[in-house]
Structure 1
Amino acid sequence: MTGPLDQQLWDFVYAYDAAYDRAARAVGLSAAQACLLDALTEDGRSMGELAAALLCDASNVTQLVTRLEAGGLVTRSADPDDRRVKRVSITTEGRRAHRAVRRAFDFPSGRLARLTEGERAQLSGLLATLLAPEASPPS
């Protein structure tokens, strides 16, 4: 069933993605590269963990990491416990780029600023309902 609300959700998602893409490009990154930087933890992650976190194929992660590594934003090294596994870590320059994308990405805060405090609380509750895992049907 499609209707005006379905279209509004699609329009919102598209506007959100477009704004994130603009923020990443303002820093000289693609949206995918910015997402990868966002997915890195302090101690790094394996290439497989990144692929799972980004919901993409490992070959895509390899390409992204190669480009980010060439720009000095990440490093790649062998895992100390399993040398077959490559770990990716964010560099100081990568942290700077990540922070710059976050600063440039003002879409969520800008849109939420249009709402009153009560409307934000209501929206938060509605989003929590929409994002809650579906209950399993009884056996």
Structure 2
Amino acid sequence: MSVHDVSTATTSPTVARPVAWRRTLGIVAGVTALAGLAGAVQLVTGTFTPPVSDLDPLGLDSWVLPGLWLATSVAVPCGVVAVLAWRRSRRLGTAAVVAGLLLALELVVQVPFVGPSMLQAVMGTVAGLLVVLGLLSRRQEGSR
């Protein structure tokens, strides 16, 4: 039997059901990964950064380390979610939940140093969306 055989795809136990919200998760995560990467590059290169004095409580004198943290906590996990969505992986839901939680952690760590902003509110919404859609996808797949 072929995976492309539509007549038996719904009854065969060997054909995986599609992950719920795959396209939405892929697009949201892909755009977020690109935005996170752009932000990380800006921080590492010192382009359009907040004042370095915001980092005084951490003892840092440049935005390089926060830029690497942004890449690690947002760009990479969201990029992984986008790739898993494109590959139609069964692990998409779990990866989306993890990426959403890491994005939320990034925001919680960021706010005390640069203050609240509209961008953080938008990204907080994205984090919530990744978690909720990831949980819905996991439930639909039956994995917990």
Query: Which interval holds the TM-score relative to the shorter structure?
Result: under 0.3
What TM-score comes out, normalization by structure 2 length? 0.27
Higher-strand-fraction structure:
1
Structure ranking higher in helix proportion: 2
